[in-house]
Every structure is written in C-alpha cells, then in structure tokens.
Amino acid sequence: MRAAEIIRAKRDGRALSEPELQAFVRGLVDGSWSEGQAAALAMAIVWRGMTRAECVQFTRAMTLSGQVLDWRDAQLPGPVLDKHSTGGVGDKVSLPLAAIVAACGGVVPMISGRGLGHTGGTLDKLEALPGYRVNPPRSQLLATLHAAGCAIVGAGADLAPADRRLYAIRDVTATVESVPLITASILSKKLAAGLQGLVLDVKLGNGAFLAGLDEAQALARSLVAVACGAGLPTLALITDMNQPLGRTAGNALEVAESLALLTGRDAEPRLRTLTLALAAQLLQLGGLAASLAEAQARAEQALASGAAAERFARMVAALGGPADVLADACLPAAPVVQAVPAARAGVISHIDTRALGLAVVALGGGRNRPGDAVDPRVGFSALQPLGTALASGEPLLMVHAASAADAEAAAQAVRAAITLADAAAPAGPVVVERVADAAA
C-alpha cells in the first residue's frame, strides 16, 4: 500500500479503511513513512477529519503499535486510574492530582507527554527535578507504584510508539488541532496503559488547541465515546483555558507551584478547584467514593493533611529525584528575573493565553523542532488572573529568562498578550461542563 495513495485518498476527503490506517501506523513505527509523508497525512486529517468508525480503528491501530500493559500480576493496592489533559498553558494539575488520588487509595501510573505546540508537557516539568527518571525500567515503575501509589512517567519505548513519532511531527507542523488526531493520540497511550478508569480534562478557550465550545464538546464526546467503547470507563470535564492555570507557566516554576499547592504554602484558587474537581471525579469513577461529595471531601482531606504531599515526595524519591523535594530548594533558577510593568492602570480584561504559551516556548521552555532541549528555568511567575486591577507600573507578571535579550523579547510578547481596560466582565468558572458516555 503506497503512502502517497493513502495521503491522496484522505486529501480528497475519503474515509480510510482499517488496512490503510494500519499501514500508516506501521509506517510510523518502522520508519517506512517519512516525516514529510506523516505530516502530509496529518494535515489532510486536520482538514478532512475522520468518521467515528475511522477514529476508533485508528485509535486501535495506534494502541496496538506497541505493548499493552497488564497490571494483573503486579498486586497493586487499588484501582488503576489516570487523568489526562488535552493541553494548556500553566496546567500543572497532573502533579498534585496523581498524589491526591494515590493518597485516597488509587494507583496512578500516569503516562504523560512532553510539550506540544504552545502547551507545556508534564514530563518536561518533572525533568526540572534533578535526577527524576521519566523512563524508568518496569521494576522501578512497579516499586514506585507500591511505595507511592503514583508514578508520573513517559510512555516508554514500547508503549504506543506510533504516537511518539506522530506527536513529535505534529508538534512542529501545525497539525495538532484535530479531534480524531487528538483522540487517537491521547487514547492510544491510555488504552495501552491497562487502566480501570480515566478522567479527561478537555480545555476550552484561547489557550486550548480547540478554542470553541462546540469543538471542545466534540472532542470530549469523541474521547469519551472511543474510550468507553474500548472498555475503559471514562468521563471528561470541559474546563476553561482563557487564561493560564495558576500563577506560573514554565517547567521548574510549575513544579514549584505544584509543591506549594501540595504543602499548603500557596493555592491559586482556580488551580486548586480544578485539581480537586478532577481528582473527585476520578475517585468516584474508580469506586473509591460512593458519591461525588464524598470524593471531593476525601480529595480535600488528602491535600489538607499533607498525605498527598508525602505521596508526591515518595514518588520523586523513588524515581531518582531529590529526597527532599518538598523543601523546594532543588529546582533550577533562571539568571534573569524581571517584572513586566503594566503600561497603564486598569483591569486585566483579556489574556491571549496561546501567545503567552508561545512566549514560554520562545524563552526556551518548549521546542521548535523534535528533540530540541528545553530550558527548565524559564517562564513566567506571578501571573495575575483575569479581572485583576493593576496600578500603572505594577507587574503584569515576572519573566524568568536565560538572558536579558530573551527577557526583553518575552516582555514585549507579554505586553501584547495581556489587555488592560477600564472594566472587565467577570471570568467564567474553571469547570464548564461534565461529559459522560452517551451510551451508558
């Protein structure tokens, strides 16, 4: 089956057959499809879409492109649960959430990804911790799950290898924004991870891949239907990404903010609310709480008591990171830290979240080409939420940069991305909608 014929068929709007989709996935794994051919088909899918049946078949082929994990022999102490986000700016929920769910009796082998486009990646964040091993051997992964109840790691060479190659290509060819591509990408890793429950955070707004409510709903429904159809109990929350989540964006800075949330030193309200909401959904889905109210109370208690922080510390130590991670002294710091002053007095009425994400990438916190190294030190802190009133000259945020020139370029991007006005409409809630399986 010639790659060019498959690309041509999708370019012209035809639904691909299962053998054609399997040929694409095989070509991704064995290298017989070039990067250009994979990018061309990805772009054709962005434009032409896929039928639900195609998306199911594509997801299955991607899942079966590598090993499918099976935890039955591992004697894990609870249901195997996970959460995944479609990607945002400042979205560090995975770090505290994994630890909260573990503290409440779940087992969370969280298979995470790297930054994609303007969005940050959980693995890039955790690699800011010196020594943290994102690709441990299975024995270390199991030991971590037994010790901590959670292990946030990469997909490993054997897990959905087709997605690893396609993800890196999509990241740099403007082919992320597609319901079937995102569905197959996320679910191939999750279905291969042997889970018993999955909660998805589908982002909505100008920092999401799919900005509009209709698109976010379509993505949430696609993800939930394909996952549930494959036998994985799944639900989704559609959540707001019209502003960065929390006070930081950038790898080490986001780890520091996660530690502050876990230890009670600081809790930005939207970040805390969303973390607890997703954790509660997952606890209920996994049968660890009889009602959502009970699940919410358990999650809050895990955070307030320090039990979640302790789980996180155990996870980091078991995966080779600092033994004293909660002390927060182990994270690398940028040499240049400077405020971006507001050019006028006013209320923050609009934030171009994607532009802020791209500014983090430009600072070196993300990639322009597959395989680029990221600088863990750079990014933004002291981000102010929509509706914040600022006096002229007060900081819009703090830039953390590798050089003064980088900081100045980022400051310009920030000034263009954050709008100050005389008044602002109140920001909407962080959790917008819950999407469960229509067939259930």
Stretch that binds ligand URA, among 134-142, 176-184, 242-250, 318-326 (CB under 6 A): 176-184
Pairing of strands 108-111, 150-153: parallel
Question: Judged by CB under 6 A, which of 7, 16, 98, 182 binds ligand URA?
Answer: 182
Question: How many chain residues are in contact with ligand URA, going by CB under 6 A?
Answer: 10
Q: Which of 10, 82, 86, 248 is catalytic?
A: 82
Is 139 labeled as catalytic in the residue annotation? no
**3-state SS class at 115:** coil
Residues within window 219-238 making contact with ligand URA, judged by CB under 6 A: none
- Dist CA 284 CA 233 (whole Å): 11
Question: Mask of contacts with ligand URA, 42-81, x by CB under 6 A?
Answer: ----------------------------------------
**3-state SS class at 90:** coil
Q: Which of 84, 92, 221, 272 is catalytic?
A: 84
Q: Which lies closer to ligand URA via its Cβ, residue 187 or residue 285?
A: 187
Is 122 labeled as catalytic in the residue annotation? yes
Question: Judged by CB under 6 A, which of 129, 186, 309, 417 binds ligand URA?
Answer: 186
DSSP letter, residue 376: T
Q: Tokens representing 30?
A: 């064995």
Q: Does 116 bind ligand URA (CB under 6 A)?
A: yes
Q: Which lies closer to ligand URA via its Cβ, residue 113 or residue 376?
A: 113
CA torsion through residues 101, 156, 87, 222, sign? negative
Least distance between ligand URA and beta carbon 169 (Å): 11
Residues 6 or more apart in contact with residue 383 via CB below 8 angstroms:
90, 243, 244, 246, 247, 248, 249, 356, 397
Stretch that binds ligand URA, among 103-111, 139-147, 150-158, 175-183 (CB under 6 A): 175-183
Residues within window 376-435 making contact with ligand URA, judged by CB under 6 A: none
**3-state SS class at 440:** coil
Least distance between ligand URA and beta carbon 156 (Å): 15
Query: Which residue, among 78, 38, 67, has the nearest Cα to 289 in the 3D structure?
Result: 78
Amino acid identity, position 354: R
Least distance between ligand URA and beta carbon 182 (Å): 4
Q: Tokens representing 80?
A: 């195997």
- Dist CA 414 CA 411 (whole Å): 5
Q: Does 38 bind ligand URA (CB under 6 A)?
A: no
Q: Estimate the share of the chain in helix, then strand, then coil, as percent rounded to the nearest 5.
A: 45, 15, 40
Least distance between ligand URA and beta carbon 417 (Å): 22
> With left for phi above 0 and alpha for psi between -120 and 50, is residue 238 left, alpha or beta?
beta
Is 118 labeled as catalytic in the residue annotation? no
Enumerate the H helices of 76-199 as residue ranges.
94-103, 122-126, 138-148, 161-171, 179-191
- Dist CA 53 CA 37 (whole Å): 23
Residues within window 124-153 making contact with ligand URA, judged by CB under 6 A: none
Query: Which residue, among 274, 225, 270, has the nearest Cα to 383 in the 3D structure?
Result: 270
Is 189 labeled as catalytic in the residue annotation? yes
Is 170 labeled as catalytic in the residue annotation? yes
Q: Does 313 bind ligand URA (CB under 6 A)?
A: no
Q: Which of 114, 125, 165, 190 is catalytic?
A: 190
Least distance between ligand URA and beta carbon 91 (Å): 11
Question: Judged by CB under 6 A, which of 88, 90, 109, 113 binds ligand URA?
Answer: 113
User: Which parts of this chain interact with ligand URA (CB under 6 A)?
Assistant: 86-87, 113, 116, 167, 176, 181-182, 185-186
Residues taking part in catalysis: 82-85, 122, 170, 185, 189-190
